[in-house]
Amino acid sequence: MSDRIRSDDSDPGLARLTVDLGALRENYRRVADVGSRTAAVVKADAYGLGAVRVVEALCREGCRDFFVATESEGIAVRAGTRDSNIFVFSGPPNDRSAAAMVRHALTPVLNDEKQLQRWREHRETPVAVHVDTGMHRLGFDHAAVSRAMFDGFNVAVVLSHLACADDPAHPMNNLQADRFEAIRPLFPNALGSLANSAGALTGIESDMARAGIALYGGNPFSTRPNPMLPVATLEALVVALRTVPKGQPIGYGGTYTTPQATRIAVLGAGYADGIPRGLSPDARVAFRSHRLPVVGRVSMDLLHVDASGVEAGIALGDWVEVFGHTVGIDETAAWAGTISYELLTRLGSRVQRFYTGQ
């Protein structure tokens, strides 16, 4: 994806994200083919890829269950799909929110007794219940829940969240699965939802799996190769080219010094666009399948690349891949000491989004 900008483009921007909706749908199929009813987690604007377009694509694939983090996210998703189930992880923080969720046909995930009481006047409206089986974040304590607590409530889904599913051999997975199975009889008419992306792909049983990072091309495992197709490609425009003599500092703080005369390409993206400032010296970007080192500190709007290896082929107006098909998103995340989830959700608003593979 290194086509040069055309002179008639009125506002090409300096950074762009291309979202392959065909790959997204294939990733959904790979999770759904395991056998469970599969929901899509589309919180944080579908991990930065654009919730409306992602939901539209997944609806065409047959997905009818979506999870968001907040009421406002749920309302935004509801505008794009009338007949889907939209679950709100945070539950209703107040009475106004509870009424709004009813009005917009959103299903709250109740996390504690205050939320349970807040929903009491709407108890005939479907609700989900979150039970904490060991993550100690949100949810009712698995050892303290009883059937009587939910008498009269229309509990459609009971769920929990796996803490260590990215490592299938971790003993926490079996412990949480056992705890979850122990509370399932308390909710005889509810779907059980325990498996996330990694859990579904490793066979953790759920009536409803919740696919998240796997949909967007990130590796759901920390100990296995990535089984998913890349979906998001982040590119930045070459805005300057210069040959810097040997022994010269590059960028803020002069943290990198040229070992010899070096062809430097300056790219029009930086940490304001979501490229982590703390990229390690091992970080690479790609130009026409060539991996190029990132040199010096990432600044707010720009970053430097050693383009000596492609000096004859790179020019102003070319697009350089920050992550995508040649440089995997998980590679870039590792060079920044983070995970693909964070890279995607930190993408800035000035990064233009484009969609392919309808």
Contact between 55 and 42 under an 8 Å Cβ cutoff? The reply is yes
What pTM does this model have?
0.93
Which helix or strand (DSSP H or E) is residue 200 part of?
Answer: helix 197-201
Segment 227-232 shows an average pLDDT of 98
Q: Decide the pairing of beta strands 232-244 and 262-267.
A: antiparallel
Q: Is 252 a catalytic residue?
A: yes
- Specify whether the CB–CB gap between 324 and 235 falls below 8 A: yes
pLDDT number for residue 170: 96
Check 114, 216, 246, 252 and give the catalytic one.
252
| Number of helices followed by number of strands (H, E) in the chain | 10, 19
Nearest partner of 304 among 229, 232, 252, judged by Cα = 252
Which candidate in 28, 43, 271, 355 is catalytic?
A: 43
Q: Is the pLDDT of residue 7 over 70?
A: no
Question: Are 264 and 218 contacting, i.e. CB atoms less than 8 angstroms apart?
Answer: no
Structure tokens at 35: 């056998």
H or E element, residue 294: strand 290-295
Checking 84-87 for CB contacts under 8 A at 24+ apart, the result is 84/55, 84/59, 85/39, 87/39, 87/128, 87/157
For residue 93, the tally of other CB atoms under 10 A from its CB is 14
Residue 2 — very low, low, confident or very high, per pLDDT cuts 50/70/90?
Answer: very low
Reference 81, options 99, 100, 65; nearest CA is 65
DSSP SS3 for 295: strand
The string of pLDDT tens digits covering residues 249-281 is 999 999 999 999 999 999 999 999 999 999 999
